[in-house]
Structure 1
């Protein structure tokens, strides 16, 4: 498949400030922190500056709202608008509409991406001010007591303690502990919560597509737990055109749950982490089936229909599909060996 087309599609959602809109659709012409983290993963191993520029734009965003971060490193947010917002307008300013902004996983994802960028030689950190922002975000998670606090989670829905959010924060704190001061106890508390919760996602959800993040890209669970998570998602949530987020999901549900396209390459990427190359091959075929020639991978197929929704292409879906399909030669060499 022509991977250059995928990069062109991602570039169509790239803003002059270096961030990305989630999609070109009217509904998604906003910047989500988490979506940007996933969207720029293909550029982590390339010499271009898209990875750095995306993170610089988010550091600028946090600098703009540093006054807010300062408040909530000492006083826990009580209302959703007090949390660091999860989505912004294309000029990276807050939107004054009600939203499920309590998304601790987005902050964890950002921290993880910064540390990962530094480890790959990316000039993600520009100056002492960026490091100061990073330190304040660590204090923000501590003030929130992320390891036991209900949040809206990856899917921006009901407030409960989500293992995927706690895991993202654990991964993020691990990732930046060489860059700023992170109390070991702050990580241990999150790890203890995960030991108690996993392989469940939350009190109401036995399994959830969001849990795959703990296997890829975060790699914070051991092999046995990773296998449990991946097996649960594949056996209970996988469908023909993608993976449902969780059982009885009502978003774009017209008789059954919506099938999220990025679920198939995401499962493939997890099987690659586990070294299960036979499954990688199987998911490559499944992923190729849902990636169109123009690489405009949809967000999802409407539940009960064989029709994609209007959030097409979804930047995050294009990025995960590209990451999975474009490294096939390396996988095939490994498989033959």
Structure 2
């Protein structure tokens, strides 16, 4: 995004509230930008839209690459917009190591949904974030809700265990699986299975149908063995074929039922509040880390520290202590 000094934050706020897509896209670009002036404007927008909408539904969709996340999202998305709902899809693409930009470009994979007037698709590069979601996804969700979208879907990059972070910013997490039995075969870690609110065996069609049934039984047994949740919810294991548009309606019905149960027991609001605290913690860590590595004293010491580590004359813990002490001392002098 170009450093456009003519940007008016109040005008952007008004545009977002009026549901104007250009204003929404510009706001998301601001939170993604690393330019100081853009970050300042982004913070003003975040303050304006810090109050959450309890009537929206945030859904995370995760799973290994090739499981059919984008195909399912398009089928589910078309079902939702045809029901009269407004849908925003925030897709997190793997990043190019050279450019830092997204590789796949989900609008090209959801052409029918992208063309619908009630849908908005935004692709963001995952960059250096390890959690399967982009660093500023939380703000993007709030902006989309302020723009009047009823449902926000967050599609993650599909890297397994590291995607646990998406659970910290959605109301329901749907984990997609391929036909076949055994999470060890699919590279899905137990931690992700435990936090999923529903599991879906996708591509349950044709010759894959018997394998999908077998996988369904396997994961039902796995889920049943987890510690029961306080509200009595046991994540369902569903079957669907996004290509044949079968099982899509049942997926949404399951999500809606889960949200109703959460609200009935008071867990919905508690979860969103806890997510804010977790978001604060992560943001503080991110900004402290960025400040640490931008510090001149740290930058000057790192080459020598690396040499000593390579030569075996310095331990990792001592190296960290030296760098942190140097960082603290440089900031004490500036006070």
- Structure 2 length-normalised TM: 0.30
Q: Which has the larger radius of gyration?
A: 2
| Higher RCO (CA-CA < 8 Å; seq separation 6+) | 1
* Between structures 1 and 2, the one with greater strand share: 2
Q: Give the structure-1-normalised TM-score.
A: 0.30
